[in-house]
Structure 1
Amino acid sequence: MKNALLPLLAVAAIGCPKSGDKPKPVAEPARRDALPKVDDPTLPPAAALPAMPAGLPDVPANPRVTPDAVAFGEVLFRDPQLSHDRSRSCATCHDPAHGFSGDVATAADGKPNFRRSPALVNLAWVKDLGWDGRYASISDLLPPHIKGQLGEAIEPLANRLAENPLYHAHVARIGGTPRDAITQALEAYVLTRYDGDAPWDSLERTALSRPGTTPSDPIVAGYQLFMGKAQCGVCHPPPLYTDGGYHRVAGNPLSDPGRGKIDPALAGAFRTPTLRGAARRPAFFHTGSAKSLDDVVLHYQQEAAVVNPDPAVIDPLVSKIRISAGEAKDLVAFLRALSAQ
């Protein structure tokens, strides 16, 4: 019996701390949202936030817009790894070369979207996002948009991307879960896509002080038409050249409810897009039916000729627009001057 107890006593002697010994710390269990262990590359310091171009108002303060977030957002925006089959990126539909806009794209299910890809510029001043304004923030917009257009839910997508050492380093630098960091990064990048410093912004300082009402400069003449006879400025007031509202100004062949999803009284109405940078866009109106600024102006000329238009289809204001062919050219010259060269 004594011999049988000796091993147990030895184990007890080893396992029990001696008088004065400090207890060993117990490791805390890993957090569920902890990032996987990978060898992170060293990231270069993030560049400063983009400068505000001429012609734009002061930007609202946003603590989520940081240099680190913008730097990560730019990498994400252009990377096809965000799509389920690695075939497309955010930039595929919202092409930077076209003012972060596009025509009607194909969704992840292979079907064409109802609406064209809107320009992701000057959104820092926009309260409600999307053609119908159903999203209160980019954070609200991203999950359904990524799922529908890129084909993967944001949570597994974020966790998958965080396994990439470069992305892991970016997520660690921003902080939070992979989903939180990736959402903040895309939000910060999109909110800093400013479109300003256009030719009109420098010309405006002197052009409006010129005497007379029929200037020889077509851009100045176009501006006067824009703010006056053509009535464009009613829905596209400067300096952002959008009222942020919802209007019926073009055909709606797919019976898209538009803002009617939120407000039944505005069925068939869509957000007024900014006209800054419009000359770089490949398509216009929510359906992408117009392919140039000349087409846009011609559309309004044709709609003005319609007798007794249905206000449930076209805003009555459109029928009051009366401009000649020469005035149309001046108007297009001004619209082109709203795009930076």
Structure 2
Amino acid sequence: MLTTLVVILATAAAEPLPNTQIEALPKSAALPGDTPAKIALGRLLFFDPILSATRDVACATCHHPQHGWADARPTPLGVHASGIGPARRLVKGAVFVPLTRNTPTILNAAFNGIESGKPFDPSQSPMFWDNRVHSLEAQALVPIRQSEEMRGEVCSEADSVSAMVQRLKNIPKYLRLFQTEITAEKVTQAIAAYERTLIAPDTPFDRFMRGDKTAMTAEQQQGMAAFQKAGCALCHNGPMLSDFKLHAIGLTDSATNRTEFRTPSLRNLKHTAPYMHHGGSTTLDEVLLFYDRL
């Protein structure tokens, strides 16, 4: 037992203390290759259900601007459903295939993984609640492959991406807009270029952190002080108010038995309810009470 304790203490001592600094976002997430033409093409693709094998689900179906670039549902409905946000329903006769995790907003996702005082590499940006892929480009292909999200039963997972490319090649407008050979890589690069424009770096918090001390109300400043004093910034830190690490907080995933989930960003929360990876908390008060009981 003594040996085990020594190992635990040595491991804890070796790990650096978390950087609890909070700060403003950069004012741009654009990369050098993000031309206006590529961004416009990415926007068109983002809102076009042609990317789905069933041709009825777009990226914007679950990441809609009316709902904070999420869907305002506890968990999303992909194929075989109609409508947007809370009004989305299964079509008549459809078999319900549940998605078990809340839709994260795409707003500011271009900054996923950013840390205070460290170089930021967009190619290593962690995506999804379990950080299973990295970069906006890699994330864009995952729903296209998933049967519950955009593939349905139309084709196999192995064929889903090539079938999506072929659907685009069959549309003269896309042949003209891509200008060169349509590939999966070029599709994801265009979508990512558009998503890098979906940022909100000029909030009252950002302006306050850049030096405008009138940008936040006295009550908001008191809340920020309480946030830091309570230790919230141990996990919710950096420009995105997230350390992007996986943590066990006592909630599991019924689909995979996963117990560790990524720290969500706290940005734009007023627009992205419900909360937590399972969408089980409808208000921020419920979230605070949950953590108070841990």
State the TM-score, normalizing by the size of structure 1. Answer: 0.61
In structure 2, the residue matched to 1:17 is: none
In structure 2, the residue matched to 1:184 is: 189
Residue 99 of structure 2 aligns to a residue whose secondary structure is strand
- Of the candidates 281, 284, 288, which is equivalent to residue 293 of structure 1? 284
> In the alignment, is the contact (CA less than 8 A) between 1:115 and 1:287 conserved in 2?
yes
Q: Could you tell me which amino acid in structure 1 is paired with residue 62 of structure 2?
A: C
Q: Could you tell me which amino acid in structure 1 is paired with residue 276 of structure 2?
A: F
Matched, 1:66 2:35: yes
In structure 1, the residue matched to 2:252 is: 252
In structure 1, the residue matched to 2:223 is: 222
Q: Between the two proteins, what is the percent identity of the paired residues?
A: 29
1:142-196, CA deviations, whole angstroms, 9 ceiling, x for partnerless residues?
Answer: 3332121111612111221222222222211xx3434332121112122332122
Following superposition, the deviation at residue 255 of structure 1 comes to 6.2
Matched, 1:171 2:178: yes
1:191-240, CA deviations, whole angstroms, 9 ceiling, x for partnerless residues?
Answer: 332122112223443549x9xxxxx92211100011112x2111111422
1:52-77, CA deviations, whole angstroms, 9 ceiling, x for partnerless residues?
Answer: xx931265773443322211111111
- Of the candidates 60, 77, 86, which is equivalent to residue 106 of structure 1? 77
Residue 201 of structure 1 aligns to a residue whose secondary structure is helix
1:264-305, CA deviations, whole angstroms, 9 ceiling, x for partnerless residues?
Answer: xxxx1111121111110131111011112222222222x24x
In structure 2, the residue matched to 1:134 is: 132
Residue 170 of structure 1 aligns to a residue whose secondary structure is helix
1:51-109, CA deviations, whole angstroms, 9 ceiling, x for partnerless residues?
Answer: xxx93126577344332221111111112222233322111111222222233112437
Between the aligned partners of 2:35 and 2:43, the Cα distance in structure 1 is 12
> In the alignment, is the contact (CA less than 8 A) between 2:175 and 2:182 conserved in 1?
no
In structure 1, the residue matched to 2:50 is: 81
Residue 206 of structure 2 aligns to a residue whose secondary structure is helix
Residue 127 of structure 2 aligns to a residue whose secondary structure is coil
Residue 133 of structure 2 aligns to a residue whose secondary structure is coil
Between the aligned partners of 1:253 and 1:147, the Cα distance in structure 2 is 21
Between the aligned partners of 1:132 and 1:79, the Cα distance in structure 2 is 27
Between the aligned partners of 2:45 and 2:184, the Cα distance in structure 1 is 12
> In the alignment, is the contact (CA less than 8 A) between 2:27 and 2:201 conserved in 1?
no
In structure 1, the residue matched to 2:116 is: none
Which has the larger displacement, 154-163 or 176-185?
176-185
Residue 106 of structure 2 aligns to a residue whose secondary structure is coil
In structure 2, the residue matched to 1:197 is: 202
Specify the structure having the higher radius of gyration (Cα): 1
Which has the larger displacement, 271-280 or 152-161?
152-161
Which has the larger displacement, 63-72 or 286-295?
63-72
**Higher RCO, Cα 8 Å, sep 6+:** 2
> In the alignment, is the contact (CA less than 8 A) between 1:59 and 1:124 conserved in 2?
no
Between the aligned partners of 2:29 and 2:273, the Cα distance in structure 1 is 29
In structure 2, the residue matched to 1:314 is: none
In structure 2, the residue matched to 1:271 is: 262
Between the aligned partners of 2:248 and 2:266, the Cα distance in structure 1 is 17
> In the alignment, is the contact (CA less than 8 A) between 2:27 and 2:202 conserved in 1?
no
Q: Could you tell me which amino acid in structure 2 is paired with residue 164 of structure 1?
A: I
- Of the candidates 46, 49, 56, which is equivalent to residue 25 of structure 2? 56
Following superposition, the deviation at residue 111 of structure 1 comes to 0.8
In structure 1, the residue matched to 2:142 is: 144
Following superposition, the deviation at residue 110 of structure 1 comes to 4.0
> In the alignment, is the contact (CA less than 8 A) between 2:77 and 2:99 conserved in 1?
yes
Residue 40 of structure 2 aligns to a residue whose secondary structure is helix
Between the aligned partners of 2:237 and 2:244, the Cα distance in structure 1 is 10
Residue 101 of structure 2 aligns to a residue whose secondary structure is strand
Gaps of 5+ in 1: 1-53, 211-215, 259-267, 305-341
State the TM-score, normalizing by the size of structure 2. Answer: 0.70
In structure 2, the residue matched to 1:162 is: 169
| Count of residue pairs brought into register by the alignment | 233
In structure 1, the residue matched to 2:20 is: none
Between the aligned partners of 1:294 and 1:162, the Cα distance in structure 2 is 49
Between the aligned partners of 1:75 and 1:255, the Cα distance in structure 2 is 33
Gaps of 5+ in 2: 1-22, 80-94, 113-124
